[in-house]
Structure 1
């Protein structure tokens, strides 16, 4: 018996779309991309704060970020922004520790004093006296990147099926049978779990042990401020992880950097999170918040060690994990998807992935 598809990918957000595109570029394989919603990217991918930041995710994510940067720049998905990690006098030890943590990682960061901080962040309050400057930080055109991957996958022959929420996954004689809520079925030789916040749930459907991938809610609000944020304002992040903000088309995007555990769902913003974000922002600058124009929330899904999960399940044959990408899945997508496709197909590594250590991200690391 032959399967309908060589590979079925569950989830068509940035993870599934990028993996599909890379797999289709590495040979002729019949691939189907399954999306539960009406359109791909409805959840986390469509709600990103849209920046590429070298330090985001920590030193073990840095290799994926740095390996992705050249491709993202070459294809026009990045726009220069710069980032400031800011702190008060009491935060100086944390800023020092941040510098030490990323020493030798390949990222370019430098300490700034109060005068230089005030120049880069107009209106900063006197309490904030020190910062770390990351010049390479950039905005990402997330929608264009996601569409690029979907288009590349389509050109490579990948079939996209929306409104296809998987409700059962059974494997017999080396072939998976997947069924959706409408009673439709398809078969595949390999199934890739790119289900984001639903990754553990899908794994259990497939008979695998969940890895403890936890969705965390992140809130963002768009504000009108007086004065409006300068167009060249850097991404500003609190070294203690209490906020970040950046300009966007004359408005300010602000987050309280919340990480509220959530069930997989269509995430909605909490009013208290928006209020906390505004309170924290007003403690940093003397700008006045005129109005909250809109607000939204998304789910960022982390494995217990906060590193992504790429590789075959150690116990369930034919089940490939491509999940747990937290808030860095978009900025690392070029290198992560290339590595994922190579691991799934057993293809050789190339210039993009040669610096990456797959063992860091393998699902087998949780077996113990």
Structure 2
């Protein structure tokens, strides 16, 4: 088949979740340039479900996604994708204003509790005196979630082409003619779910880019045998200079919270960022680092206002943006897919997202 109702460019969590929502209603193809879907940002995420992460603009999507991740439709998955974790925000005395801002921004929407951070984090160094607990935070099983979306997509008749790049596309009567590395495809609608490549895909389709910028995030896995427990909270700096969380007994995943602008690429960690991460970690707790076991990097892609972009391009009929999902694309995937599918098909909003205003995420805000 060389003609589809919709072609989704990108097989990461964005494309897979939206495809799973659409495949039962339309003929849908996922076009993925890599040999495996989810190779880039999705496969490199330190994923958690945290309602404050991404800020107040993202919180409604995260909150709406929580129940769908915790108790998915049995036809979709037979268990929860979430495991309780909690987040402990820590800071110095100079960070009290930032703690108070968080509480104010999410008042009445997210459960946040001022705490003594030393009571929850053994080995915390004495200068870290300010604490805020977000008790509802959970880890996400990213691989299971992504695979479940792909299974559902294919079970409903969705097709995918891996290792297939979009070279260029042009509008034609009734839709688009797409030239790929494996031949020509025709479709009614192009869905741009290409992550770090979103602006590049737009250009190849003759569509004006929005200004979605890939930012590199570095992660290291450390062996820390003195870590008291694998059940400790995710620890976030109120000044956004690091976060880390246990990853099994005696191991943590740590990032210096770097956001280095990058071209779309197969991102690799830089040694300076790794060194900064370790130095910041050792400034927080007195757990000796025995070894750096792994290190990697991924690209988190943001629109200029750091909110996601969902909707049809106002100047290019049949070109739909589903991009700019930053570091929160996985925790918002269920709600984003419901919102995106309603916008694409013109159908009613699902009950879970009825309270969310899609205009807040429209690409029209950039024109």
Structure 1-normalised TM-score?
A: 0.96
The answer to whether the Cα contact below 8 Å between 1:301 and 1:324 also exists between their aligned partners in 2 is: yes
Moved over 4 A (4+): none
The answer to whether the Cα contact below 8 Å between 1:3 and 1:175 also exists between their aligned partners in 2 is: no
The answer to whether the Cα contact below 8 Å between 1:179 and 1:186 also exists between their aligned partners in 2 is: yes
Give 1:100 shift.
1.1
Alignment of structure 1 residues 213-252 onto 2, 5 Å: 213-250=212-249, 251-252=251-252
Structure 2-normalised TM-score?
A: 0.96
Deviations 1:2-41 (A, max 9, x none): 971000000000000000001124x2x1110110000000
Gaps of 5+ in 1: none
The answer to whether the Cα contact below 8 Å between 1:3 and 1:189 also exists between their aligned partners in 2 is: no
Deviations 1:58-103 (A, max 9, x none): 0110000000000100030000000011001111111112211212
Give 1:229 shift.
5.0
Deviations 1:228-277 (A, max 9, x none): 35111100000000000000122110000000000000000001101000
- Alignment correspondent of 1:261: 261
Give 1:153 shift.
0.3
Greater displacement, 322-331 / 229-238: 229-238
Q: Find the residue that maps to 1:186 and give its secondary structure.
A: strand
Alignment of structure 1 residues 47-86 onto 2, 5 Å: 47-75=44-72, 76-86=80-90
- Alignment correspondent of 1:108: 111
Alignment of structure 1 residues 96-175 onto 2, 5 Å: 96-104=100-108, 106-113=109-116, 117-175=117-175
The answer to whether the Cα contact below 8 Å between 2:68 and 2:334 also exists between their aligned partners in 1 is: yes
**What is the Cα-based RMSD across aligned positions, in Å?**
1.1
Gaps of 5+ in 2: 73-79
Distance 1:308 1:97 in 2: 22
- Alignment correspondent of 2:77: none
- Alignment correspondent of 2:289: 289
Distance 2:228 2:180 in 1: 47
- Alignment correspondent of 1:12: 11
- Alignment correspondent of 1:310: 310
Deviations 1:285-339 (A, max 9, x none): 1110110000000000000000000000010010000000000000000000110
